[in-house]
Amino acid sequence: MRTLAWIVFHNPDWCDGPDISPMASNHWNRPVVELLLASEAPFSTNDVNLACARFVGWCYSQPDLDAYQIGVQNVPERPDPEGTADPGEWGERLVAWYKRVIQRLGRWERAVLVNLATLEITQNGVVLWWPGRPADQQVGRA
């Protein structure tokens, strides 16, 4: 059975302020947590865009995945630093955007969130995996 899910890497503690990757979507033929752990993408960097790119690249190397159906979509409403002269104001806008989008995605049944700061994998408010939890003891649907 294939599971439709959007995978989103995020990091509230990134050096330039909180950040959210594009969403990688597919009708996955294996549990998403299993794919994420096998790819090692969440553990290779704390940069959300690199983690997303590495995960998608890894998917293309897997013969059992239909990688040609992977979609990559931008997360909406990303603030634009253009016209913001005050770094404090820019930081506040970025934090507000991050909190708003993560809260919205956190309630979305199809979104699987990968927090690169804590390495937790969550879906619809449920923690599916965290460091120290064996992959064979997953919780939830993803």
Whether residue 57 is contained in a domain is answered as yes
**Does 60 fall in a domain?**
yes
**Is residue 142 domain-resident?**
no
The pTM assigned to this predicted structure is 0.90
Please, are residues 113 and 105 in contact by the beta-carbon 8 Å criterion?
A: yes
* Number of domains comprising the chain: 1
What string of pLDDT tens digits covers the 142 residues of the chain? 688 999 999 999 988 889 999 999 999 999 999 999 999 998 989 999 999 999 999 999 999 998 889 999 999 888 877 777 787 888 899 999 999 999 999 999 999 999 999 999 999 999 999 997 765 665 555 5
How far is the C-alpha of 62 from the C-alpha of 75, rounded, in Å?
A: 26
- Give me the domain span that covers residue 31: 3-137
